[in-house]
Amino acid sequence: MNIILLALPFLIIIFFAVVNLSWQNIVKCVLFVVILDGALRKWFLPQASNLIYLIKDFFLIIAYLKFFIFSYKDRPLIKNNYLSYAYIFLFIASIWLLFQSFNPDLGSPIIGLFGLSRYLLYIPLMWMLPYLFDSEEDFFNFLRNYLLCLIPVCVLGIFQFYSSPSSFLNIAPGGEEASEALGFGEGKIRISSVFAFPNIYTAYLTICFGFLLPLITTQKKQSFFWKVIIFLELFLVIINCFMTGSRGVMINSVLILLGYLWAKSVDNFSIILKFLKKIAIPSVVVVFLLSRYFAPAIDAFTTRGASSSEFSDRITYALSIQSIPGKSVIDGYGTGATQSGVQPIKRLLSLPAGISPPSGEAEIHRITIEVGLIGVIFWYGTRIFLMMALWFVYRKLQNAFLKDMALVAFLIHLQFLPSQVVFHPLAVVYYWFLSGFIFLLPRLEIHNYYQKTNLYNVL
């Protein structure tokens, strides 16, 4: 209760500030909050770490109320059969998730409803996104400005890497010293920058790497200043990927790059030649700077990679479906059973302990534990059809930049499929934000058409 009293004035100020914003600005704020909430949990309000974790949820609920009550328009219609299938699977999945939120094994339906929110709370972002940006130029400028956050975030990561594990820069949420288990050895720590943990940071780096690719290949006119900034951001992302010590972020980034180049080469191979020509000199500079000034990061990463032989086993494990001890194939322990935030809620509200579920690391195992095989089939069915709907949008778009953004969204969805989304506080926001590209990108292309034909008010 002391924690609540400590954070209450801060939360009240935030609440009244957010209420006075438009829903568009609240959603944009959320995209910044997911970057900064780790900093609040580690350095500014460590005693209220669990409450800070929920700030983005409060913001989104306010945005939803403003949008769906006061600003809702008819959902944009697009001919996309994959989207229709996704809606069917999502509807059935939602019913099953709601049913499992009252599972008696949880000890209290409060835990079930909290777990249910982890699955469903962020989905409305998908339907709000088409109205978040007025034009392609508005979307392009927001994306470019948003990626400016990479510079201070990555610079902090570099300082963390060269600081000792006991440094103030490397404390964990709650003000605790960073765990040695998150280190490389020899006094080097796996960085998390402003984020709570390294695995959250690696997801952010992967997503930003994908966002940077269309900005590099775009045919839009950009000043020399912005070209330098974009390549600087890419350079900092690469350095920080090494410093995280994560093989996953490297593999995912490389797969996104290869998928991006392959898809674009199929459409027009000359674009790839221009891209390779554009990055030739920057690539030489990056290799020189990495080998000259950041050799310790490369050495630490390669040493950790060479000493870990179980990586392929972990991939196989993450893609497999495990049986649930003590449960039938269709049943589970209830939504929220494996959520990390459940225990603080139980302590705060003095809730019954419930039945302890078996442990699971990969997301598909944790979802199986919570909602059984039925939940897994319909939840992942929804995600697969959304991914295919993004591919359909990519194939149909004609505008080069919007087409590239659809491709990046598809590739990020693809690498998210075996990764954590529901149990990842940052990835879950970006996942449904990117799902909104199914509606946003065609709408922006239509807007461009009407703008060129001087029919401004049709949309």
Count Cβ atoms within 10 A of the Cβ of residue 211 and give its class: 0-12 exposed, 13-18 middle, 19 or more buried: buried
pLDDT of residue 458: 47
Q: What does pLDDT average to over the chain? A: 84
What is the C-alpha separation between 380 and 85, in angstroms, rounded? 12
Question: DSSP class of residue 267?
Answer: H
Q: 152, 150, 161: which is closest to 191 by C-alpha?
A: 161
Strand partners, 189: 183
Average of pLDDT values for 179-189?
A: 59
Tokens encoding 220: 């839009």
**Range with the lowest mean pLDDT among 78-92, 190-204, 343-357, 433-447?**
343-357
pLDDT of residue 427: 94
Percent of the chain with pLDDT over 70: 83
Average of pLDDT values for 152-163?
A: 92
Average of pLDDT values for 225-251?
A: 91
Say if residue 83's pLDDT is above 50: yes
Say if residue 346's pLDDT is above 90: no
Tokens encoding 361: 């690391």
pLDDT of residue 459: 46
Q: Are 144 and 11 in contact (CB under 8 A)?
A: no
* Whole-number CA gyration radius for the chain: 22
pLDDT of residue 96: 96
Count Cβ atoms within 10 A of the Cβ of residue 405 and give its class: 0-12 exposed, 13-18 middle, 19 or more buried: buried
